[in-house]
Amino acid sequence: MAKSKPVVGVVMGSKSDWPVLEHTFITLKEFGVESEVKIMSAHRTPHEAADFAENASKNGLKIIIGAAGGAAHLSGVLAGHTTLPVIGIPVKGWALDGMDSLLSTVQMPKGVPVATVAIGKAGAINAAILAVQILALSDAGLRRKLAAFKKKMAAEVRKADAELQKELIG
């Protein structure tokens, strides 16, 4: 069976971001959403980043997820060069425990939105889920998968509560 074309572009500023972005890739796969993963820098390869974003739609992508640490300008640069939705993941860098990345990702000027998620692993997973939610607007199969995912999460919480209640009584 041939692999379907990627619909989500996952772009990280550095290979050191992969331990976080791997969770995005895995979560997308779990929902059956194909993605392509690239390393590009807003500062060291700005022309490649701009070219990627400018041609993303033409290349079949529907959403771009960008992740970077430190100055974390990558998602904003990508958003500035496309009309596709861009989701930004702040990654912990070398300073401020990721707060610098968060502020650089979330503080975009009007007209250039970047949907910013949490710092690190939780954000990486949530970026994938947000991408799936956007894609599910026009895909009934993904809507069903999201509903099942939400039910499973709720069941896990109820199970954990039941176990705790047994411990407390017990």
33 contacts 55 by C-beta, under 8 angstroms: no
Distances (CA, A) of 68 to 47, 103, 167: 17, 12, 42
The whole-number average pLDDT for the span 158-168 is: 97
The whole-number average pLDDT for the span 108-114 is: 97
The whole-number average pLDDT for the span 134-141 is: 98
pLDDT at 151 over 70: yes
**Which residues, at least 6 apart from 128, have a Cβ–Cβ distance to it below 8 Å?**
8, 23, 24, 25, 27, 28, 31, 33, 65
Q: What pLDDT does 71 receive?
A: 84
26-65 pLDDT per residue, tens:
999 999 999 999 999 999 999 999 999 999 999 999 999 9
Q: What pLDDT does 116 receive?
A: 98
| Residue 40 exposed, middle or buried by CB count within 10 Å (0-12, 13-18, 19+) | buried
Q: What is the mean pLDDT of the chain?
A: 96
126 contacts 92 by C-beta, under 8 angstroms: no
